[in-house]
Structures are given as structure tokens and as C-alpha cells.
Structure 1
Amino acid sequence: MAKITIFWFRRDLRLHDNAGLFYALKEKADVLPLFIFDTDILSKLKDPADARVSFIHQTVSEIKESLQKQGSDLLVRYGKPQDVFKSLSREMEIHSIYTNHDYEPAARRRDQHISEWASKSGIEYRTFKDQTLFEKDEILTASGKPYTVFTPYKNKVLATLDDFYLESYPNENYEKSFIRQPKPEKMISLEEMGFKKTKIKFPALTLSSEVLKNYAQNRNFPALENGTTHLGIHLRFGTLSIREAARAARKYSETWLSELIWRDFFMQILWHFPEVEKHSFRPEYDKISWRNSSKDFAKWCEGKTGYPLVDAGMRELNATGYMHNRVRMVTASFLCKHLLIHWYKGERYFAEKLLDYDLAANNGNWQWAAGSGCDAAPYFRIFNPQAQAEKFDPDGEYIKKWVPEFQTSRYPEPMIEHAEARGRCLQAFTKALKK
């Protein structure tokens, strides 16, 4: 029996420019690609029509079809990863498992368990950097500590980022190493896993030079359909290589490159400070007397706050799984500062809804908005939703699209006046932070 090398797809759903897959194909023969619909993750999802599961299922099906055309196949399993690997080890002789790094606390615990099991089973287990430009301890301060302020981190990245870090892995040169599978396996259906196909349409995987060239001046205006790249979901699930994205950014848009570096920055924060998943990066912010109003939180979730830009953003999120980045900042600030509701509740709601949900970026941006994170907006910076609407949606085009009853008697009055909310926020924050 031939010894099998398994490549385990996770947040890297592509056959091209995939670091771990490249090394598996280059160094080993009989490489068997594997994807696991992880029940530990799926069991936490509340919506049977969760669009992200549809996106993953669709993408995995495309990879499977592509491999079948090469005479190989993608093995797809449903269950807990450790149980899947134990089962496979009884079916075949596994020599090694290759995969790419993940930086989230739960993923790190999962990978540690798999690594320990593999070691005890005499199986080589290797992981690689793929979803970031830099990771872990690659970018540190002069004193060897992780950066907690973005600008010096970004400057160090830009000083280090040469062509070497942006070069694609030529996976196509080693396709002969894929295992031959004359009898392809059937793909598990969404229904068999307890899900159903979403009605949400996914953004195309298109790196538009035109969008990038105009990104800096257009990115803050939510009414512009092509003002941003809409590539968040593709970066999140790895259908787009970060190296390909960064090459395009370096060529066409310094501003978008900066956004990609923010993504790396939050990932290294989560890696070095995993406690930020549930606690404030600045512990003193956990002392704030947050309000626990389920009624106010529900109005925010439903887009019925009486602030049209906030409501438009929440309704867009609920309908499409997407929200414009400028509006994300305004809605997050509103929840934390106007309503004085803990950032973690908003972060969890976004985690349920966003197609491009990524723990590191979502957590980092929510803590930025609340003032509780590293390099965050100061607590006394409180967005005025009305002023934001006037500046970034001056004709009300975005608001009218998502809040058609705006300027009619059916639209609610503001939950709280801005001046009152600002005063209440400053009082609560100042009281806690001066202790």
C-alpha cells in the first residue's frame, strides 16, 4: 500500500498559489486533498441557510470538480477533524499531513490536538504560512516585542515587504503529485448536513484595477457600488491569495495595501494576545458600567434606531451579509457609545451575519470603535451618525435604498438624542477609566 500525504484545506480554498499545498506536492507523491465540514464549527451556526456554508460548499465543489478533471479528487468529510483523521488512518497508510496556519484560539487548540495525535501515530504534521503576508514573530519591535500600534507596524511591514514575500507558489508545476482517483467520491449535500442553499448572491472574485485606482477617493461612500473591492469573503476563505491581492494593491492602491496590512496587524494581535477574543485589550475598559438593554439591542439589530445611516447599515447586513466599512464603524460606535452596550454583543452579532466574518479583524475593529483595543479611537471620539450621513451619503442614496420609509411618518424618532448620548457615554467612560 502506498503511503499517503494528506493536504487539509481550511481557510485556503484554492488550488493555485497555496503554500501548504505547494510544499505537499513538491515534496511528496500521492497527495490526497481533504476538506472537512467541521461539526464543531457548524453546530454553532444558528441559521440553516447560513450563506457562508453555501459559499464553502460551492467552492469545495468547484475544487473537487477541478481535481476530478485531472484524474484526482477532493476527499470531503463531515465530522470532528480528529475523528475524521483517526478514521482515515484506519482506511489508508498516512505518511504525513500538510496544512496552513490558523491563528484563532479555537483553531490553535484544534491543531494542537491533531498535531499531538499525529505525533503519537507516527504521522508527520506540517503547517505553513499562507493567509498573511507576515505572521507571529516575523514583524517585531526593536526590543523583540509585538507591535500594538498600527503605524509603526505598517512602516516596518512596508520596509520589509519585497518581491520575495509577494511571489506566488507555482502549484501548477507539481500537479502530477496528486493521487490518482479513478472512482470519484460523491460530494455531501448541504441538506445532509442540516443546511440549505442561501438566496444571497456572492461577490465575484475580481481584482479590478479600476476599483483599486479609485479606492482611496471612493471607499468612504456607501452608495457607490464599486467604491470598494467586495473581496472580503474571498480573503476570508482563501479563494483569493493574499500575495496576489497585495501585488495588485502595491501596483494600484497604497490605501488598499494599508487595509491588507491592518488585516495582518489584527491577526498578529490575536496570535500574541488571544485573550482579546472575549476581553478588552485594555483591561480598564472592562470596568465600564455597560447597559444591558435587550430592547435597545434588538432595535439596533433590526435597523430601527431612528438614525438613518445606522439603520441602513444594519438592514444591508441582515439582507446581504455585507456592510460597507464606513458604515460598520458608524454602527459599531453607535452601539458602544450611544447605547452603551458592550462591544462584544455587537461583535457576536456581526459574527453571525457577515459573509466575510473573520475573528481577528472583526474583534479588532469592534474594539477600535469602542476604544478598548490596541491603537483604538480615543473613547471621547464619538461618531455623530447624522454628520457621517451628511458627509458620506450627501444625497441620501444609500439610506433611501435600505430605509425606504425614511422621511415619512413611519420612520421612528431617534432612540436617544446625540448630545444626550455623547454626555452619557463620556460620563460612563470617564468614571471607569479614572479609577
Structure 2
Amino acid sequence: MKLTSSLVWLRRDLRVFDHVALHQALLASERVYCVFVYDTTILNDLPRCDRRVDFIHASLAEVAAELQQLGGYLITRHGDPVDEIPALAEELGVQAVFCNHDYEPQAIARDVTVAKALHAAGRRFHSYKDQVIFEKNEILTQGGGVFSVFTPYKNAWLKRLAADPSVLTPYNIEPHAAHFAPPPKRPPKLPTLAELGFEPSNLKELKIPTGMSGAARLFDDFLTRIADYNVARDYPAVKGPSYLSVHFRFGTLSVRHLVRTVLDLQERGGGGEGAAVWLSELIWREFYAMILYHHPHVVSAAFKPAYDAIAWETGPEADELFAAWCEGRTGYPLVDAAMLQINQTGWMHNRLRMVVASFLTKDLGIDWRRGEAYFALHLNDFDLASNNGGWQWASSSGCDAQPYFRIFNPVAQSEKFDAEGKFIRRYLPQLKELSNKEIHAPWLAPRMLSAGYPPPIVMHDEARKRTLERYEVVKKPAA
């Protein structure tokens, strides 16, 4: 028997196509409303000028327009979802709330609280898998355990997909659009950024595509380059990545559509090695989501408990080193250019995320959690599972992480992946007169730098020795 009316709660799924919760609500209900809550428990801690809020705001405008085309409309609220969702459900008189899973510990706790409030009022709460292909316990070891090494997880993931390709079936919306609740005579207007307490960011100046249409354009463009991804992705001055990470974060794209498209391309003999490598990156994303779900302690502690015994640098000197890292004045051009990239654009090339994380933890000896928190504040595409997984990988404290004695040499990384210094010159124009050889280690240049670029705040070889000593604690058996 169909429900009289339902409410679809949009969160990390800002689209109106191939949307599981929306599809299920339309199938189950005579009338379906849609809402997005600007969550003050998150927004209150953000700077008043935040590109992510700008991105959400622009993407929601597209969602609202698409819903209107289909005969429905978008409701927005500004507050704590724990209060707003039950109150709106009461106001609309809906029988159920539909949404898609979120795997972060705080989000899980929030959903439990909302579900209890709804159930107490005689309403149902339905949540579905949408932002990943496989979740929770769907990919386990042969012994029924949770994977902690990526390659076996990837192999099991691919095997499961081959056995059940139906998981890529799209959840169509348009055939069921007649069940959208029609807008009232005076449809609610979307709030302005100012009404939300925010100022416009430089999102438009950076020409970052937003919404469903922006994700589609980026993906179409990437498909023309995907065959070279396996090589091009490592060079920050080259157009190698897909640039879809912020769209993954806010769900303006369908991961089912992306995987299905890449597999179809491979079946037709296209995509080259790059397509396979990019698919592996998508699987890494799901691997980290699975780790966070099963091991929520990683939010504040090392995945490997032994690494919590590491004595990180603290005090005023460490604070100054951290500030130099944040502000891009370490004296290592590739590190500094990468930090200026994130500060100015809210994005950082993946190769450089590894380089700067290694530099902070293993050259400066500063706790990975401080770097993780900085990225969380500045990345447009901040995702707790991936950000945490990446930082713990770099600090060697995570699952399937690089061994602690493998330490990126920032100069060698610069010489290998930005040999001509194109990326460095983009963010450090004061070094533009240096030769391609000199630009990677300016302190060795025979001429003075008129722009006053700083000398290295640490010498890598000396820092490496200190790191090896610092990490000796992880080799000692627990007492």
C-alpha cells in the first residue's frame, strides 16, 4: 500500500537523477517533498567566506530548477537537522522520511537521533546506499573479516561487481515524476548566501563548475583524456585529473553512472591503462569509507595503535614550523606552491597532497592530525574518510600505509614531477628567473633571490634521521 506522502532529505546527494532515496520515495508514495537543511552544527564553525557553502548554494539552485521542471519543488531549512527534519515532517504531515546513507560517525549518530524522533511520532525513516557501489559488510575477506589492505579489497570489489553488475543499474526519476508534490501558490524561495550568514567566495573567479551540469561537463572532458590518466595524474602542471572530487563530495554526480561508463568504455576497447587506474582510485575512495565505518576510532587516533605512541613536536617552535607550512614559506618550492594552491583555490593536486603531508609529518615531525584539520578547513572536496585515510597513509599510521622509513624527498619529488618548474612558477612567480635546475632547491642557486624567498626551515637529510629515530617507538613491542 502506497504512503500518502513522504519527505526526501537531501544531504551528500545534490542531484535529481539516479538518486536511490528519491527513486524509492517516488515509488512508495503518492506525494513526495524534497528538503535540504543548511546544517548550522557544521556551518557555524566555518569561516564566513567558504567556497563549499558557495558550491552547495549554486548546486541547490540547479536542483531546485530541475525539480520545478519535473513538477516538484525544493524546501530549504537553516538549523540543526535533528530539530528541523522532525519538525518539517510534522508540518507537512508526511508518513516517512527517505535519505541516503552517510558513513561518518557524527552523521550516523545524527540519523539515529532523527529516526528515533520520527518513530516516536509514528513516522518511518528509510535510508539507502547511494554514494558508493559497495558499503559496510558487502566486501569482506574469505574469513568474513574486514579488509585492511587495499589490493585484496580491490580484487574482491571487482570480483563482486563482475558477479553482480546489477548494482550499477540506474535509479530513474523521470518515469515517476507525477508523484512529486506540486509547489504551493507561493513556492519557497531559496535563501541567499547573505541570509545564511555567508559572503560570496572566489568560486566563480576560479571557474569551478557547480551542480549536476558542472559534474557532467567535467566528466565528459575527462573521458577524452582518461587513457593518459595513469601517467598524467602525477604531474601538477598537466591537465591530468578528472577534477571531480568536489562533485563526489556533494553527490552532484552518480558513482554508478561513472563506473558504468568507464566499464562500457573498456568493453569497447577504449580507456587504455588510464581507465583502469582511475577505477582503482574510485575503489580507494570506497576502501577508506569502509575503514571509517568499521573503525571510527581513526577520526581521532591512529588506525595502528602503536603509532599513537609517537612523540610529535610541540611547543612554540613547532607552532612556527606549522605556520610556515600552512602559509607556504618552508623554503621548499614544491611544498610551498602546493600550499599556496590549496589556500588560493581550495584544491590540491593528489601527488602534492602526499608530498606536503609527508613533509609535515616526517620533515617537520608534526602530528598528522594538525595537517588533516587544516585540509578539512580548506579543501573544497573535504571528505572525512578520504582525508583521514590519506593523512594516515602519509604518516604511516593508517591501513595499507607506506612504511615509516619511506620518506618523500621534496626536492626529488619536485625534480621528477615538475621538472621544468611550471607548477612552481604559477604559484611562486618570485622564482621565475631561476633555471629549471635551480628552481627545485633555490638555496643552492649561485645568485641572490631579489624577492627574498626563504631558506629551508629544515634540511631534509637531517630531518629524515630524526624521523627514523622518532618512529623507532613503533618497532618496540607493547608493554
Q: Is the structural similarity TM-score above 0.5? A: yes
Aligned mates of 2:86, 2:8 — CA distance in 1: 15
Aligned mates of 2:65, 2:172 — CA distance in 1: 20
In the alignment, residue 287 of structure 1 is paired with which amino acid? Answer: A
- Cα offset, 1:432, TM superposition: 4.6
Asked if 1:386 is matched to 2:386, the reply is no
- Cα offset, 1:376, TM superposition: 0.4
Aligned mates of 1:27, 1:192 — CA distance in 2: 35
- Which residue does the alignment assign to 1:36? 37
- Which residue does the alignment assign to 1:154? 154
Aligned mate of 1:187, from 186, 190, 194: 190
| 1:66-145 matches, cutoff 5 A | 66-145=66-145
- Which residue does the alignment assign to 2:229? 215
- Which residue does the alignment assign to 2:345? 320
Aligned mates of 2:311, 2:63 — CA distance in 1: 49
Asked if 1:333 is matched to 2:358, the reply is yes
In the alignment, residue 248 of structure 1 is paired with which amino acid? Answer: T
Asked if 1:231 is matched to 2:244, the reply is yes
CA contact (8 A) 2:71 2:178 kept: no
Give unmatched runs, 5+ long, in structure 1: none
- Which residue does the alignment assign to 2:321? 296
Aligned mates of 2:381, 2:262 — CA distance in 1: 19
Aligned mates of 2:86, 2:107 — CA distance in 1: 18
- Cα offset, 1:4, TM superposition: 2.4
Give unmatched runs, 5+ long, in structure 2: 266-270, 435-448
Aligned mates of 2:352, 2:11 — CA distance in 1: 30
Deviations 1:143-186 (A, max 9, x none): 11110000000000011113312221111211111101143111
CA contact (8 A) 1:212 1:249 kept: no
CA contact (8 A) 2:4 2:29 kept: no
Aligned mates of 2:86, 2:343 — CA distance in 1: 39
Aligned mates of 2:69, 2:141 — CA distance in 1: 48
Asked if 1:306 is matched to 2:324, the reply is no
1:30 aligned counterpart, secondary structure: strand
- Which residue does the alignment assign to 1:372? 397
Aligned mate of 1:416, from 454, 458, 467: 458
- Cα offset, 1:72, TM superposition: 1.8
Seq. identity, %: 45
CA contact (8 A) 1:7 1:99 kept: yes
In the alignment, residue 306 of structure 2 is paired with which amino acid? Answer: E
The aligned length equals 432
CA contact (8 A) 2:335 2:410 kept: yes
Deviations 1:413-435 (A, max 9, x none): 11111100100100111135425
2:347 aligned counterpart, secondary structure: coil
2:429 aligned counterpart, secondary structure: coil
- Cα offset, 1:86, TM superposition: 3.2
2:424 aligned counterpart, secondary structure: helix
Aligned mates of 1:92, 1:19 — CA distance in 2: 22
In the alignment, residue 141 of structure 2 is paired with which amino acid? Answer: T
Comparing 208-217 and 412-421, the one that deviates more: 208-217
- Cα offset, 1:199, TM superposition: 1.1
Aligned mates of 1:384, 1:335 — CA distance in 2: 12
Which 4+ stretches in 1 moved above 6 angstroms?
Answer: none
Aligned mates of 1:384, 1:298 — CA distance in 2: 21
Aligned mates of 2:22, 2:70 — CA distance in 1: 16
TM-score (norm 1): 0.97
CA RMSD of aligned residues (A): 1.3
Asked if 1:434 is matched to 2:435, the reply is no
Aligned mates of 1:397, 1:280 — CA distance in 2: 36
CA contact (8 A) 2:71 2:177 kept: no
CA contact (8 A) 2:37 2:76 kept: yes
- Which residue does the alignment assign to 2:293? 271
2:183 aligned counterpart, secondary structure: coil
- Which residue does the alignment assign to 1:174? 176
1:29 aligned counterpart, secondary structure: strand
Aligned mates of 1:229, 1:85 — CA distance in 2: 35
Aligned mate of 1:285, from 307, 311, 314: 307
Deviations 1:220-269 (A, max 9, x none): 00001x21100000111000111112123333300000000000000000
- Which residue does the alignment assign to 2:268? none
Judged with a 3 Å threshold, the aligned counterparts in structure 2 of structure 1 residues 412 and 88 are, in CA distance, closer, same or farther, namely same
Judged with a 3 Å threshold, the aligned counterparts in structure 2 of structure 1 residues 70 and 248 are, in CA distance, closer, same or farther, namely closer
Aligned mates of 1:247, 1:385 — CA distance in 2: 38
In the alignment, residue 236 of structure 1 is paired with which amino acid? Answer: R
Aligned mates of 1:165, 1:215 — CA distance in 2: 25
2:430 aligned counterpart, secondary structure: coil
CA contact (8 A) 1:12 1:238 kept: yes
TM-score (norm 2): 0.88
| 1:22-61 matches, cutoff 5 A | 22-45=23-46, 47-61=47-61
Asked if 1:403 is matched to 2:428, the reply is yes
2:195 aligned counterpart, secondary structure: helix
Aligned mate of 1:196, from 195, 199, 213: 199
CA contact (8 A) 1:209 1:248 kept: no
Aligned mates of 2:410, 2:77 — CA distance in 1: 46
In the alignment, residue 156 of structure 2 is paired with which amino acid? Answer: K
- Which residue does the alignment assign to 1:11? 12
1:161 aligned counterpart, secondary structure: helix
